[in-house]
Amino acid sequence: MKYYIIAGEASGDLHGSNLMKALQKQDVNADFRFWGGDLMQNVGGTLVKHYKERAFMGFAEVIMNLSKIFKDIAFCKTDISAYQPDVIIFIDNSGFNLRIAKWAKLNKFRTNYYISPQVWASRAKRVHAIKHDIDNMYVILPFVKDFYKKFDYDVTYVGHPLIDAIADRPQISEYEFRAQHELNEKPIIALLPGSRKQEISKMLTVMLSVVNDYPDYQFVIAGAPSQDYSFYEQFITNPNVHFVANKTYDLLSVSFAALVTSGTATLETALFKIPQVVCYKGNWISYQIGKRLITLKYISLVNLIMDKPVVKELIQDELNTRNLKHELDIILDEYERTKFFINYYELEKKLGGKGASRKAAEHIFKSLKQNF
């Protein structure tokens, strides 16, 4: 079978690569053409465009890059038409993918979506278009299946692929990790500032403002695969701040606490059982638009899944040095940390066990065989 897969950022590249591996086990003749990143490319197939080339964050940034986005959409349609895939698999990245899906359905291509657009967070009316344009939807959060039920749309819950990604990663001892990256014996506070330059700049400026108040800890920046060290170098002016490139899971496995930019990383940190403070500060215009569209009580996946404030969220103006220090003091306290561990174990139970990529691949391949 021929699979055309469209992922738009680092997390989509991770989940896309694991889905491709699972599809290869189902379909020995699987042929892939995809928009993604290095992890998907390592599995095999043809990389059409790297997500680094189209990483835009926020409403304002998207508007400023509309010309490039429309060119990418037009090119994607042309590329799909030339490849003639048996199925198009969309992974998150709704702004781009839903436009392609509408065109694909009109042109009789089979459409599957793995990791639903966040219609449960804003603009729920998009569900009607999704029902029309997507043949099969595979969701990774339990409450999302319940959300779609309200619209009489039967989707398939497969569990969360992060559980597999974390469990199956190559293991490294704490001693080896510290030695490899020249880290001392102080407890580590991990800094996960995101993957896009504009968010990294905003997040790190505030995150690093508390470093001098914690001489008994060392702070380690988790470098994103989409950025080079040369970009981070401008922020590292304190000897108590270190940098680790593209080793986020290894870093979390040895960390004592973490300051994390809102997104997939909040759930990853929770699955490693690391107490965290969730941070978000966006472009002012994008934030003003976003807060009027998004109807959720929380922004972090941890709190959304648990439906209660398990982790503290510091958003926009609340993300400042004073507040961040106050919340960091809390998660470093032994008594408070116990609460995190209890909630994190409950979170993992809610997500279900391993096998999300395998289950999604089985469903996709089965539905394809039924249509041949």
Is residue 293 predicted with pLDDT exceeding 50?
no
Residue 287 pLDDT > 50:
no
The answer to whether 261 touches 268, Cβ cutoff 8 Å, is no
Q: Which residue has the higher pLDDT, 60 or 369?
A: 369
Q: Are 228 and 340 part of one and the same domain?
A: yes
Spatial CB neighbours of 271, under 8 Å, sequence gap ≥ 6 = 162, 163, 166, 344, 347, 348
Number of structural domains, the chain?
2
Domain that holds residue 104: 2-159+355-370
Residues 346 and 361 in one domain: no
Give yes or no: residues 194 and 107 share one domain. Answer: no
Residues 15 and 142 in one domain: yes
| Encoded amino acid at 369, one letter | K
* Claim to verify: residue 290 and residue 341 sit in the same structural domain: yes
pLDDT tens sequence across 79-118: 999 999 999 999 988 889 999 999 999 999 999 999 998 8
Do residues 172 and 151 share a domain?
no
Q: What is the pLDDT of residue 369?
A: 87
Q: pLDDT class for 125, splitting at 50, 70, 90?
A: confident
Beta bridge partners of 156: 138
Question: Within this chain, do residues 142 and 262 fall inside the same structural domain, yes or no?
Answer: no
CATH number for position 72: 3.40.50.2000
* Residues 145 and 130 reside in one and the same domain: yes
Is the pLDDT reported for residue 64 higher than 90?
no
pLDDT bracket for residue 355 (50, 70, 90): very high
40 with 152, same domain: the answer is yes
Q: What is the pLDDT of residue 57?
A: 52
**Quick one: 130 and 269 in the same domain?**
no
